[in-house]
């Protein structure tokens, strides 16, 4: 997993928890030695982290990234090392930035943020709070985030 060390990103903890919960649901035990953190939210920072991961003798065969931008850096590192996506390395991003996810070759499989639903909920909370009906304390909202499947993940052989 390529994550972000900076705690300024609220989603950091929740995305990591979701990643680890999905591993456990799939019968896997999360391996902290395979968790890498980029210094910031740039492709360059992710590329540096990926080079360390991918040069390891027991390198991962798949990387899940905190964002599509970090996934772009993974693509760059894989290319520099002569690794093919998805044949040698599967990559999954988060955010589904269409320009980035659809422009990468092969297209990046990524988790879609439900921007419309998030915005609608935020406005509803604002209107309720302005009318004195909403909670005074901050509240959370978890929305479904579907996986957008493209070609960056290896398919099981038959």
Could you list the pLDDT tens digit for every one of the 158 residues in the chain? 444 444 556 677 788 888 889 899 999 998 887 788 887 888 999 999 999 899 988 889 999 998 999 999 999 999 999 999 999 999 999 999 989 999 999 999 999 988 899 899 989 988 988 888 877 787 887 888 899 999 999 987 76
What domains does the chain contain, in order, with CATH numbers? 2-113+144-148 (3.40.50.2300)
What backbone phi and psi angles, to 5 degrees, belong to 147? -85, 130
Rounded Cα distance, 115 and 126, in Å: 16
Predicted TM-score (pTM) of the model is 0.82
Nearest CA to 92 out of 113, 78, 111 is that of 111
């Amino acid at each position: 997993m390529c994550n972000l060390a900076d705690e300024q990103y609220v989603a950091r903890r929740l995305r990591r928890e979701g990643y680890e919960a999905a591993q456990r649901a799939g019968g896997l035990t999360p391996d902290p030695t395979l968790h890498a953190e980029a210094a910031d939210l740039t492709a360059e920072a992710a590329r540096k982290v990926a080079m360390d991961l991918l040069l390891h003798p027991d390198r991962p065969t798949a990387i899940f990234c905190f964002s599509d931008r970090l996934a772009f850096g993974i693509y760059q590192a894989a290319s520099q090392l002569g690794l093919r996506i998805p044949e040698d390395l599967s990559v999954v991003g988060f955010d589904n930035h269409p320009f980035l996810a659809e422009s990468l070759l092969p297209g990046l499989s990524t988790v879609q943020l439900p921007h419309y639903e998030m915005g609608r909920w935020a406005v509803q909370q604002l209107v309720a709070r302005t009318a004195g009906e909403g909670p005074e304390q901050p509240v959370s909202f978890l929305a479904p985030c579907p996986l957008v499947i493209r070609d960056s993940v290896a398919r099981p052989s038959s």
